Structures are given as C-alpha cells and as structure tokens.
C-alpha cells in the first residue's frame, strides 16, 4: 500500500471517529437544536472527500488495464443495484434462519433518525459516504490486498473490515455479503465509479423508503 493510500485510510478513520473528537459537540451547538449533528457530519464528510480526491489527483491520468467497456459498466451499474437488494434479502433470510428474528438495524435507524432532523445529512448518506467507502474499502484496501493474494481472500478481508466498521454486530453477515459483491463488481468492471453509483443508489432508495413508509425487516438493514 502506497503512502498516499495510507494517508487516505488515516484521514477516513479520523472522519469516522470525528464525533469522539473534542470540539465536535461544540460545533453542533451553532446550529438549530437537533440539526447540528447531521450538518457537522455532512461538512466533515464533504471536507474528507475533497481531501481524498486531491490526494488521488496524481492517478487521474493513469489508465488501469482490465477496465470493462462503458456499455458493460453501465449494465453493471444498473443491474448491480438490483443484485444488491436481492443479495441483502437473501442474506437477511439466512441470518434470520440461523440466529432467529434479528432486531432492526441500529445503524439504519440512527441514519434515518438523523436524516429526519437534518435533511442535509442525506447528502452524506446517499452520495459522499458511499464514495468514500468505495475508495477506502474497494479501491484501496481490496485493491492493495488483491496484488498480494487471491480474489476470495482479498475480498473477504476487505468485507469483514467493512462489516465491522458499521458497528452492527447482529447484521454482520448482511454487510459482509454487500462488501463482497462490491469487491466482485470492482473486479469485473475495474471502475470504482460503478461501485460508487451502486452503493449510492442503494442507500438513497433505502433511506427514501425508510423516511416515508414502515419498511419490512430486511429493508431496514440496507443503509451502508
């Protein structure tokens, strides 16, 4: 892993842990009650994305081999969203069969609650967050591991870390399956933008549903 990638991973970790940093709550106090957390987190996510993209600028002229044609990538982008929902439903059913009816996803509930109080947070959930996660977990982590080991092991390690990063132990299987599929999609297309689209579309659809109608148990596991 290059120094640039290590720097990006550290910056992402700081973003992830930012609510624990002294001064975070102080910043939220400058905004209307109930909206501060979502606004500050969105700003931090946005700033993090800008820094990460700047760090990746040296790669903008690099042409990685093995990229799928634009038409194939478009099919993956659209079909991948459908596949993500299908895989999550299947993984949720397996989770229920093995462990019994799991509680609602605490991660998704927290996201929806924050979005209700601060609609700006939807930008972080549906656009910025997925872009950062695809860069960190698929492009950097999986991509670096893939150079040293086989696909299954590299994708598994990346997906395990991705799953635990959501701090939702009851639903690790669902997050792992999602992460593994996204690694596979990246392997097939070679275009991280395809992953970003699939991930963002999935989150946007789930949050939109959750904000407007009571969702079945499996739909409440899908914000990543």
Point out the residues that are catalytic: 133, 166
CA 183, CA 9: separation in Å to the nearest integer? 17
Residues 104 and 220 sit within 8 Å (Cβ to Cβ): yes
Name residue, tokens 């696909």.
151
Residues 122 and 42 sit within 8 Å (Cβ to Cβ): no
Residues contacting residue 156 through CB under 8 Å, at least 6 positions apart: 180
Q: Is the dihedral of CA 39, 130, 1, 20 positive or negative?
A: positive
Distance (Å) of CA 133 to CA 51, 98, 116, 126, 128? 14, 29, 23, 11, 9
HSE on the CB side for 202, CA within 13 Å? 33
């Amino acid at each position: 892993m290059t120094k640039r990638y290590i720097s990006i991973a550290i910056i992402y970790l700081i973003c992830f842990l930012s609510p624990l940093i002294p001064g975070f709550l102080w910043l939220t106090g400058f905004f209307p009650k109930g909206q501060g957390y979502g606004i500050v987190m969105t700003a931090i996510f946005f700033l993090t994305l800008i820094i990460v993209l700047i760090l990746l600028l040296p790669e903008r002229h690099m042409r990685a081999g093995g990229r799928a044609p634009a038409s194939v990538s478009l099919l993956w982008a659209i079909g991948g969203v459908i596949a993500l929902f299908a895989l999550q439903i299947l993984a949720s059913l397996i989770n229920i069969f093995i462990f019994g009816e799991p509680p609602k996803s605490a991660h998704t509930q927290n996201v929806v609650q924050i979005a209700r109080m601060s609609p700006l947070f939807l930008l972080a959930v549906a656009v910025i967050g997925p872009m950062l996660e695809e860069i960190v977990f698929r492009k950097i982590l999986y991509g670096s591991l893939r150079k040293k080991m086989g696909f299954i092991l590299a994708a598994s390690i990346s997906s395990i870390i991705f799953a635990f990063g959501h701090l939702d132990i009851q639903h690790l299987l669902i997050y792992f399956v999602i992460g593994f599929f996204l690694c596979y999609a990246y392997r097939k297309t070679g275009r991280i933008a395809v992953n970003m689209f699939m991930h963002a579309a999935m989150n946007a659809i789930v949050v939109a549903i959750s904000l407007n109608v009571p969702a079945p148990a499996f739909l409440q596991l899908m914000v990543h």
